Amino acid sequence: MCSLPAAGALKKAFKECHVTWVVDPRFSGIAKCCEFIDDVIEARPSLNPKTWPKVPGKFTAALDLQGLLKSALVLKGVQCKTKVGYHWQREGAWLFSERVLPDPTSIHIVDQYVDVARSVGGSGDVAEFGLRPNPASLDSVREKIGDLRPFVVLNGGAGWASKRWPAASFGKLIDRLAEMGLESLLIGGPSEADRAVGREIESSAKSKPHNLIGQTNIEELVALLSLARAHVGGDTGSTHMAAAVGIPAIGLYSITKPIRSCPYGQIERCLYNPMSLRSIDVDSVAETLEEAVNDH
């Protein structure tokens, strides 16, 4: 998600260039919704050489924006002389590409990815994601939510439990949203852990939220967020996706600092407490959310 503006920087500098994006199949829906990407190749390289992709055609440059062995193996199969990579190269990624040091002013990870594109001629002072919902996904999502309007998307899940705001706090926020005249819609992955978080949030709220946990693919999630008034979540994928589609993204942070990984361009809407996410109170989140919705 955060690397998409690198494609935008290339398109801005070279309007006729052809951008091919190699991505893990689990996340290919994001690339397919990006207007700056022309072709999407799904690949999941492992230590087994049979999984190493061969990218057809000859290219002017190849960019490794992940800096891991699996992304480096993609570059191995690309025909071009110029191969550059994100500065934090691990697992031997430096053997396959030249490391690009970020500009000293590039603090956010998005700007550091764009710096890799700039190293091969890309341009752009403001990062652009180019994330757009496709018509089929919009139709599918509208059918799932019916006449639910207006609504705020809430994601109580995260890869790490330490990145999750308490379910009870989400429940209280749902009740505050109802007082504002806003519906609440829960999202998350299909795992039992995410479903359990959703059930806990529902049981903590007096107002019943609409629950779509495990019921949307990535392309549908892009469409869903484009219809929402705002998004509230921790340091997780949907938070960054919300910022990319241009809606207010209220980020809740503790173990990671928002200055580097906040929803891009919305650091003023992030709430940060280095002690614990539990220390972020519902009133502060509700006030930030209300202000963001009114300004948007």
Give the DSSP letter string of 244-295.
HHTS-EEEEESSS-HHHHSSTT-GGGEEE-SS-GGGS-HHHHHHHHHHHHHH
Domain boundary among 118, 152, 177: 118
Compute the distance between CA of residue 103 and CA of residue 115 in angstroms, rounded to an integer.
Answer: 7
CATH of the domain at 57: 3.40.50.2000
Give CA angle at 198 (248, 26), nearest 5°: 70
Residues 85, 166, single domain; the answer is no
Residues 104, 216, single domain; the answer is no
Report field, pTM of the whole predicted structure over 0.75 = yes
Residue 207 lies in a domain: yes
Please report which confidence band the pLDDT of residue 161 belongs to, taking 50, 70 and 90 as the band edges.
low
Domain count, the chain: 2
Compute the distance between CA of residue 80 and CA of residue 272 in angstroms, rounded to an integer.
Answer: 43
Residues 189, 277, single domain; the answer is yes
Compute the distance between CA of residue 11 and CA of residue 207 in angstroms, rounded to an integer.
Answer: 46
Please report which confidence band the pLDDT of residue 218 belongs to, taking 50, 70 and 90 as the band edges.
very high
Residues 168, 80, single domain; the answer is no
Instruction: Tell me which residue range forms the domain holding 254.
Output: 135-295
- Ramachandran angles phi, psi of 151, nearest 5°: -140, 155
Residue 264 lies in a domain: yes
- Tally helices (H) and strands (E) across the chain: 11, 11
**Residue-level pLDDT at 1:** 85
Q: 160 or 33, which is more confident?
A: 33
Compute the distance between CA of residue 114 and CA of residue 126 in angstroms, rounded to an integer.
Answer: 10
Taking a C-beta distance cutoff of 8 angstroms, is the pair 84, 116 a contact? yes
Domain boundary among 118, 152, 183: 118
Mean pLDDT for 115-119 is 97
Residues 172, 276, single domain; the answer is yes
Q: Which of 212, 145, 223 is nearest to 201 (CA)?
A: 212
